[in-house]
């Protein structure tokens, strides 16, 4: 079911030409800044991969990949990527990227099962990145260190945009706040995960929630995460599970917690086997990606995705992702957006 949030008295701060200029500036500056902060090299990414290799990300495990037969290969099927979480790790190994360095790429995807609305489109564009790390760095403090570097790039980008467009006032706090999903649940045990996010992120403005994918104290997950890329089950020094998480910002236009990045320390062999068993996905161990990980031919890594259109939405103070990218929307939504002064591309 599609949905539409209609901010009261919404008026875009930028016209269409200014918006396109803003998008260009954000995308050019942010990827350059991020690559410098994390020592990332740009690589070329696939739009589709072969089905049955285990390389495509299955997100929450329910989304259907867009697929098609390849005529010149006997109608073997290819899938449009959902994300590049596993592909990036294979690329780190194949390119022989050294420890402390990594890669980033422009990821473009089609997610046909998305519920269309202000935040979700059929078309997904994000910066996918992956960094080679050591076994000693597989801890929460290293995770936080990397998050702070990414957040620093957010602050620099916001300042750049406010200088170019004075009508956009800098909003983000100087520091990002960290909280584990279990601690958040204990603070608001009667609320849903999204309700908890809204209350906490509204207060702190920029938050990283640790531990996404594993069951919390009530037996429920904060949110779903595939079992074979992020490590959400390793017990850390503070007695809580999880070496991954989400970056959320408070969106002043939509007045809600706004996820801009999903990331984390990736599974090692032990975490993979544990999470595959928890999720009942043992059959995946026969796939190409999983075999390479079990054989120790893939490096330890940390990585994630940062939504390009989401980030542009936030920095340009837009109410709908369709103000940033060209996609397909229900006619009823287009008509409603027009009435509410939300100009979709």
Residues involved in catalysis: 57, 111, 126, 246, 259, 262
Please spell the DSSP secondary structure of 45-63, one letter per residue. Answer: --SEEETTSS-S--TTTTP
Q: Are 97 and 42 in contact (CB under 8 A)?
A: no
- Tokens at 101, concatenated: 């360095």
Specify whether the CB–CB gap between 340 and 128 falls below 8 A. no
Radius of gyration, CA atoms only, the chain: 20
Cβ atoms 34, 40 nearer than 8 A:
yes
β-strands 102-110, 256-265 pairing? unpaired
CB 127 within 8 A of CB 107: yes
248 — phi, psi (to 5°)?
Answer: -125, 140
Residue 181: strand, helix, or coil:
helix
End-to-end CA distance of the chain: 21
Reduced to 3 states, what is the DSSP secondary structure of residue 186?
helix
| The pair of three-digit structure tokens given for residue 161, joined into one six-digit string | 């945009």
For residue 2, what are the contacts with CB-CB under 8 A and spacing of at least 6?
A: 115, 116, 117, 329, 330, 332, 333
Question: What does the block give as tokens for 125?
Answer: 């564009």
Beta bridge partners of 128: 105, 305
Q: Encode burial over 15-35: b for 16+ CB neighbours within 10 A, e otherwise.
A: eeeebeebbebbbeebbebbb
Answer yes or no: are the C-beta atoms of 310 and 119 closer than 8 Å. Answer: yes
CB 241 within 8 A of CB 275: no
């Amino acid at each position: 079911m599609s949905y539409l949030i209609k901010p009261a008295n919404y008026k875009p701060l930028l016209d269409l030409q200014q918006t396109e200029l803003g998008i260009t500036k954000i995308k050019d500056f942010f990827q350059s800044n991020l690559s410098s902060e994390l020592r990332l090299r740009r690589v070329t990414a696939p739009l589709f991969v072969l089905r049955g290799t285990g390389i495509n990300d299955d997100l929450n495990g329910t989304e259907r990949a867009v697929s098609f037969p390849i005529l010149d290969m006997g109608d073997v099927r290819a899938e449009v990527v959902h994300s590049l979480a596993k592909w990036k790790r294979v690329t780190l190994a194949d390119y022989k990227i050294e420890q402390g360095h990594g890669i980033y790429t422009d990821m473009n995807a089609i997610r046909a099962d998305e519920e269309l609305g202000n935040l979700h489109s059929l078309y997904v564009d994000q910066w996918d990145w992956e960094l080679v790390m050591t076994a000693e760095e597989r801890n929460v403090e290293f995770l936080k260190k990397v998050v702070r570097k990414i957040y620093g790039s957010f602050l620099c980008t916001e300042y750049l945009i406010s200088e170019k467009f004075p009508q956009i006032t800098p909003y983000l706090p100087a520091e990002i706040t960290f909280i584990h999903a279990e601690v958040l649940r204990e603070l608001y045990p009667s609320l849903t995960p999204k309700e908890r996010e809204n209350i906490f992120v509204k207060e702190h403005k920029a938050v990283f929630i640790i531990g996404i994918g594993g069951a919390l104290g009530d037996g429920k997950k904060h949110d779903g995460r595939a079992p074979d890329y992020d490590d959400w089950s390793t017990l850390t020094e503070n007695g809580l599970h999880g070496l991954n998480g989400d970056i959320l910002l408070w969106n002043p236009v939509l007045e809600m917690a706004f996820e801009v990045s999903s990331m984390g320390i990736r599974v090692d062999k032990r975490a993979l086997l544990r999470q595959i068993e928890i999720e009942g996905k043992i059959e995946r161990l026969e796939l190409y990606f999983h075999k390479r990980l079990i054989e120790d031919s893939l490096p330890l890594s940390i990585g994630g995705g940062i939504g390009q259109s989401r980030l542009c939405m936030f920095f340009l103070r837009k109410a709908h992702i369709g103000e940033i990218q060209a996609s397909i929307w229900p006619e009823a939504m287009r008509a409603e957006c027009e009435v509410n002064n939300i100009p979709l591309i």
